[in-house]
Structure 1
Amino acid sequence: MKAEPILFEKERFAAKRLPREEYIDCTFRHCDFTGADLRGCSFVECRFEHCDLSTARWTNATLRDVLFSDSKLLGAAFCDCNPFLWSADFEACRMDFALLNGMRLKKQRFVRCRLQHADFSGADLEGALFDECDLSGAVFENCMLEKADFSTALGYSFDLSANRIRKARFSLPGIRELLERYGIVVEP
C-alpha cells in the first residue's frame, strides 16, 4: 500500500541540513533551500514547485522522477548528484550558471527554462528537448547533441565541430545565430 503524499509548504531549509535523508512522493511548494545541504539526500517521485534551490549542495544526492517547476536553481551543481537512475524534468525554471557537465541527459526535457551560462560540457544530450529555453552564454563543448531539439530555443551559440550534432533540430533564426560565429550570413 502506497503512503500518502507529503506536502512541505513555505518551509525554510536555507543554509541547513535537511531533517531527513529520504523523501518519497513529496511536494515542496514555495520552500527556500538557498544554500541548503542536500548531500546524500534521496528524492524519489518528488515535486519542487516555486522553490528557491540556488547554490544548494547536491553532492551524492539521488534524483529519481523529480519535477522542478517554476523554481530557481541558480548555480545548481547537478553534476555532483548520484548519476544512478537520475531523472528530473525542468519546467519554467531559472537555471543560470547550472552545472550539468559530464552528465548523461538523454531525452532530458527543459521547458521554458532560463539556462544562461549553464555548463553542459561533455554531457550526453542525445534527444534532449530545449523547448522555449534561453541558452544565452550556455557552454556546449564535446557534447552528444544528436537528435537534440533546439527549434524553439534562443541564444545558443556553440562550435559545431566540437560537438556531435547529427539530426539535431534548429529553427531558422537560431541557425543564423549558430552560424554567425563562422562569419556565415543566412539570407531570409
Structure 2
Amino acid sequence: MLFEAERFESRLTKPASWEDCAFRYCDFAHINSQGGSIDSIFVGCTFENCEWYWGIFNLAILVQVKFKGCTFRGTAFSGSKFVECEFTDCEFTMDNLNGECSFDDVAWYKCRQDNCKGLEGEFRNKH
C-alpha cells in the first residue's frame, strides 16, 4: 500500500504498517515500536524522536530518509539498503539482554551521520 505526504505522530494508523508498504515524503514523529519486521520502502521521509526496540529492518529500502533524535535498541538491520540517508543525534544501543544492534549485509550509499552513538563504525561521512 502506498502512503504519500502523510504525517504519523505517536503511532501508525491503519491500514499503515511497517510491512509491505511504500512511504513517500511522509513524516514520522514520537513513534515507539517494539519488535516486528520493518520491510517497507521509504523515500524522502523524516523520522524524529522515534524509538525501536528489537525491531527487524529486514530488506528495507530507505532513500533520502532523515533520522533525527531516534533510538534503536537491539535492532537488527539485515540486508537493508540506505541511500543518501542522514542520521543526526541518533543512538544505536543494546537491548535489556545486552544484545547490540546488528548490521548484517547492509549497504550504505552516500549516507551521513552526525553525533550518533553506535553507528560510527558502519560508514564514514562521504559525499
Task: Give the TM interval when normalised to the shorter protein.
Answer: 0.7 to 0.9
Deviations 1:70-123 (A, max 9, x none): 111112223343x3x7442211111022223432224432211121122227x9
Any conservation in 1 of the 2:54–2:73 contact (CA below 8 Å)?
Answer: no
Which residue number corresponds to residue 141 of structure 1? none
Larger relative contact order (Cα-Cα within 8 Å, sequence gap ≥ 6): 2
Moved over 6 A (4+): none
Offset at residue 27 of structure 1 (A): 0.5
Q: 2:61 aligns with which of 46, 61, 67?
A: 67
% identical equivalent positions: 23
Any conservation in 2 of the 1:22–1:41 contact (CA below 8 Å)?
Answer: no
Any conservation in 2 of the 1:38–1:59 contact (CA below 8 Å)?
Answer: yes
Which residue number corresponds to residue 96 of structure 2? none
Amino acid paired to 1:51: C
1:71-82 to 2 correspondences below 5 Å? 71-81=65-75
Count how many residue pairs are aligned between Structure 1 and Structure 2: 120
Offset at residue 43 of structure 1 (A): 1.9
Which residue number corresponds to residue 97 of structure 1? 89
CA distance in 2, matches of 1:13, 1:22: 11
Which residue number corresponds to residue 11 of structure 2? 17
Q: 1:87 to 1:79 in 2, by over 3 A?
A: farther
Q: CA RMSD in A?
A: 2.7
Q: 1:66 to 1:34 in 2, by over 3 A?
A: same
CA distance in 2, matches of 1:55, 1:34: 6
Indicate the SS of the match to 1:95: strand
Amino acid paired to 1:100: F
Indicate the SS of the match to 2:73: helix
Offset at residue 55 of structure 1 (A): 1.3
Amino acid paired to 2:8: F
Indicate the SS of the match to 1:58: strand
1:165-176 to 2 correspondences below 5 Å? none
CA distance in 2, matches of 1:31, 1:22: 13
* Unaligned runs of at least 5 residues, structure 1: 1-5, 135-152, 155-188
CA distance in 1, matches of 2:106, 2:115: 18
- Say which structure is richer in helix: 1
Any conservation in 2 of the 1:22–1:42 contact (CA below 8 Å)?
Answer: no
- Say which structure is richer in strand: 2
Q: 1:94 to 1:30 in 2, by over 3 A?
A: same
Structure with max Cα Rg: 1
